[in-house]
Structure 1
Amino acid sequence: MRCACASPPARAARCPEACASTDDPRGQGTPVRYRGSFFGVEKRGRDAMRLLHTMLRVGDLERSLAFYTEVLGMTLLRRKDYPDGRFTLAFVGYGDEAHNSVLELTHNWDKPAYELGTGYGHIALEVEDIYQACEDIRSRGGRIVREPGPMKHGSRVLAFVEDPDGYRIELLSPV
């Protein structure tokens, strides 16, 4: 088994056992999943780039932080106010930023709401038990906007939840 972080060697020192094998005996292009993370980083060939974060603009930072930490179970990784620019950045995720992609929640102090437009689709999270995940999210005050069921024209089970700003988050059962 080869660690997905093993190249370059300096990265392997930071991650001696935190990641799964990149072996793919079936040749299916199976993504690497870091232990304890829904956001695994896939490495192929050169190790030149990786996805760091996705930014969402939010109207009420405290409400959004409560949703992502209390309803979806993410951890607040860091938060910083920028008084001169009148904005705050908060980063949330399922693991540290060194090994995981995270969400950046940007709150512009003078902008209470945003229009989502037609370009935004969704963020996707893989969950072990989609039915239990939906019940847990609902019991914590989350809004399920599509109950668990098979994907159209497919067999994978999915559901959708909506955050306080209307961003949709897709929940997917494992492949």
Structure 2
Amino acid sequence: MSDKPETFRMMHTMIRVLDLDKSIKFYTELLGMTLLRRDDYPDGKFTNAFVGYGPEDSNTVVELTLNWGREEPYELGTAFGHLALGVHDIYAVCAALEAQGARIPRPPGPMKHGTTHIAFIEDPDGYKIELIDLATMS
């Protein structure tokens, strides 16, 4: 390992949301992230909220962006795939999420072409989040 500073570090990924409070609640209460900061930009007419599992200076986080006055859902498009989170005991995690009202379009089970167990949930705006059972990764 080099003592030279790394050239790049993954900092965050940004997704646009329609209801910032609902999204913050989903990521913090259902997925256990922490609201790290929330900033309004009146001149730009948007608000950014950053959520994650640790401080931004040492963890990759999710930036939730609310564009003020937007009422129509965003088109998620065909290029974006999903966010991914590692979990322990994917079946118990999915059961708990479902009990809290999370949408689970792909229930937990082995990958079609592998042994790793995965599931997909959706956030309030329909963004897919892959859950990967860390104990089954091959």
- Residue identity in the other structure for 1:133: V
C-alpha distance in structure 2 between counterparts of 1:64 and 1:95, whole Å: 18
1:166 aligns with 2:126: yes
Higher radius of gyration, 1 or 2: 1
Q: Which has the higher strand share?
A: 2
Q: Name segments (4+ residues, structure 1) moved above 6 Å.
A: none
- TM-score, length-scaled by structure 2: 0.92
C-alpha distance in structure 2 between counterparts of 1:82 and 1:121, whole Å: 28
Q: CA deviation at 1:101?
A: 0.1
C-alpha distance in structure 1 between counterparts of 2:70 and 2:22, whole Å: 15
Identity %: 58
1:26-175 alignment runs, 5 A limit: 47-112=6-71, 113-174=73-134, 175=137
C-alpha distance in structure 1 between counterparts of 2:57 and 2:88, whole Å: 24
Deviations along 1:65-89, whole A, 9 cap, x unmatched? 1111111111000000011111000
C-alpha distance in structure 1 between counterparts of 2:99 and 2:49, whole Å: 25
* Matched position secondary structure for 2:98: helix
Q: CA deviation at 1:152?
A: 1.1
Q: CA deviation at 1:128?
A: 1.1
Deviations along 1:121-173, whole A, 9 cap, x unmatched? 10100001111111121122211111101001101000000001000000001
When the two chains are superposed, the root-mean-square deviation of aligned CA atoms in Å is 1.4
C-alpha distance in structure 2 between counterparts of 1:139 and 1:76, whole Å: 23
**Per chain length, whose mean CA-contact separation is higher, i.e. which structure has more relative contact order (CA < 8 Å, sep 6+)?**
2
C-alpha distance in structure 1 between counterparts of 2:30 and 2:89, whole Å: 16
Q: CA deviation at 1:103?
A: 0.1
Aligned residue number for residue 25 of structure 1: none
Task: Name structure 1 gaps, 5 residues minimum.
Answer: 9-45
C-alpha distance in structure 1 between counterparts of 2:119 and 2:111, whole Å: 9
* Matched position secondary structure for 2:28: helix
- TM-score, length-scaled by structure 1: 0.73
Q: CA deviation at 1:62?
A: 0.8
C-alpha distance in structure 2 between counterparts of 1:131 and 1:98, whole Å: 32
